[in-house]
Structure 1
Amino acid sequence: MRKPIYTEWRFWVIIAVIVLGIAIAAAIVQQQEQARNNPPSASPQPAAATQLPSQETAPTPSATVAPVASAANPTPPTSTPTNAVPSAGTPPTTTPPSADPGQTAPADQVPLPKSEVLAYSRQLKGAPYIRDVAVGTDNIEIHYFGSFAEFAQANPGTQLTKADYNENFSSRDAINKILMEAPVQLFRQFPGTASIDITLPYSGKTYSVSLTKGSVEKFFNTDLDGIETDEQWAEQISGPYFNKEYRDQFAQRYIQVK
């Protein structure tokens, strides 16, 4: 009598293989369903506003941005430039130097006004005997004639005499007076002057002085730019210093004789 098939071991092996195959198939079907229901998200793209910095340095924008016209503001306001050029009828804000000793030039006047320096030099003591005046950017050089004969030759129509000439230069104190007072007057009148050189030949000798504005202010113990009136000039300079005692001190310190 034959045994029933379910008692055979081969039967159970076949059953196990079938069950395993069904389980594997079910798992595959389940994974496919999940894939259809949950599609993979797209990889994120870099944001449009994010940019890598360029290796080249971008030019720095101006601190002042001009207004731009828009629909809400069709006409942009006009800004007033800080360095606006005045119209032709606008008077200058500073007063130019004058030949009047009571007026002063702007302290930042560079270069020196040659025509005004020449005009003012004609007011200095012994001015008729000045041979030439050289005006640089911030330097003034004055040279006197070497003798009355040299002066007369250059000015054939002059009415000045040799006695007039000697009256200006015949004493050492008269020469010291010129070489001391002329520079400080020029420094005051033209504040942009940095140095002054004066050469005065007389009777076989040459008297000269080479001064800076700082050395003059130190000697007179004053700030020349702060002197604005004739009263201040008399109080701080001419009153206490324009005398023989201080002329001798000035000559000993600054005047060269050759």
Structure 2
Amino acid sequence: MQKPVYKKWWFWVLLILLIGGIGSLGNDKELNDQTIAIATVNPVEEVVAVATVEPTTTPISEPTVEPTVQSTSEPTQTVASDQLPLSKDEVLTYTANLTGKTFIKEVKVGTDSISVIFFKDFNEYKDANPNSGITKEDYVDYFATGDQINKLLMQETTRLFKQFPSTATVDMTIPYDGETYSVDLTKGEIESFYNVDFSSITSNDIWREKISDRHFNKSDRQDFINKFVTID
């Protein structure tokens, strides 16, 4: 006769293992329930930190550029003295400072010519300058002293050629004591007399070396008068 199953040893071993497995499942369920409960009561919050510091940004600076200023007026310039036609304003400005300027009646400026005319006598000068304090004696003393007329005719005409190299002719007329002293010079004549190319006179040092220190003396003035001056 066969034994009942519950009397066999392997039945009890299997039963124990089965009971243990069920208990284990119950414990896992309880543990899971506890874990869920804990998570529900004390949820783990993830804090997302918000940056409270402004990002450091290097500003892009615009280059400092000074605006180009457009001049509203033409700069004051002296027209090159070798240009034609001659500038009347420049010539008149210069001749206003010539030796003997007080008694100059008129300066005429052409395209390439300059003409300087003195008053014919003291009366004409006085009529044109009624408020002048210059007396007739002053007038006479000025022209009669030394070789003043010769100086004017030679030196001041030479300075005009030097100051305005494009000038082709210079003439000067000085009436005095019933006579008229005059010169009518060309550039070629004046360069030949001084033996110098006036375009090479580019500084005061050269002017003194080649012209004034060398030739502005009584002897050379007389040579100039003999060669170029007419007396009527």
Same fold per TM (> 0.5)?
yes
Letter in 2 for 1:245: S
Residue of structure 2 in register with 1:64 after alignment: none
Given that 1:121 and 1:127 are in contact with CA atoms closer than 8 Å, whether structure 2 keeps it comes out as yes
Match of 2:136 among 159, 162, 165: 162
Question: Secondary structure at the residue paired with 1:142?
Answer: strand
Letter in 2 for 1:142: V
Question: Which segment drifts farther, 160-169 or 210-219?
Answer: 160-169
Q: How do 1:171-250 and structure 2 match up within 5 A? A: 171=145, 173-250=147-224
Q: Which runs of 4+ in 1 moved over 6 A?
A: 87-92
Letter in 1 for 2:180: T
Letter in 2 for 1:151: Y
Number of aligned residue pairs: give it.
Answer: 163
Structure 1 CA distance for aligned equivalents of residues 84 and 72 of structure 2:
24
The CA deviation at 1:157 is 1.2
TM-score norm. by structure 1 comes to: 0.59
Q: How do 1:48-63 and structure 2 match up within 5 A? A: none
TM-score norm. by structure 2 comes to: 0.65
Match of 1:114 among 88, 95, 101: 88
Given that 2:182 and 2:231 are in contact with CA atoms closer than 8 Å, whether structure 1 keeps it comes out as yes
Given that 2:171 and 2:185 are in contact with CA atoms closer than 8 Å, whether structure 1 keeps it comes out as yes
Structure 1 CA distance for aligned equivalents of residues 217 and 138 of structure 2:
22
Letter in 1 for 2:200: G
Q: How do 1:81-100 and structure 2 match up within 5 A? A: 96=78
Which has the larger share of helix?
2
Structure 2 CA distance for aligned equivalents of residues 190 and 167 of structure 1:
31
Given that 1:197 and 1:208 are in contact with CA atoms closer than 8 Å, whether structure 2 keeps it comes out as yes
Question: Secondary structure at the residue paired with 2:196?
Answer: coil
Structure 2 CA distance for aligned equivalents of residues 122 and 186 of structure 1:
12
Structure 2 CA distance for aligned equivalents of residues 191 and 90 of structure 1:
29
RMSD across aligned positions (CA): 2.2
The CA deviation at 1:238 is 0.5
Structure with larger Rg: 2
Structure 1 CA distance for aligned equivalents of residues 113 and 160 of structure 2:
11
The CA deviation at 1:183 is 1.0
Taking structure 1 as reference, are residues 221 and 156 closer, same or farther at Cα in structure 2, changes over 3 Å only?
same
Given that 1:209 and 1:254 are in contact with CA atoms closer than 8 Å, whether structure 2 keeps it comes out as yes
The CA deviation at 1:129 is 0.5
Given that 1:168 and 1:175 are in contact with CA atoms closer than 8 Å, whether structure 2 keeps it comes out as no
Gaps of 5+ in 2: 1-69
Structure 2 CA distance for aligned equivalents of residues 106 and 143 of structure 1:
22
The CA deviation at 1:91 is 7.8
Structure 1 CA distance for aligned equivalents of residues 73 and 201 of structure 2:
28
Residue of structure 2 in register with 1:142 after alignment: 116
Question: Secondary structure at the residue paired with 1:191?
Answer: coil
Gaps of 5+ in 1: 1-86, 98-104
Given that 1:138 and 1:194 are in contact with CA atoms closer than 8 Å, whether structure 2 keeps it comes out as yes
Taking structure 1 as reference, are residues 90 and 223 closer, same or farther at Cα in structure 2, changes over 3 Å only?
farther
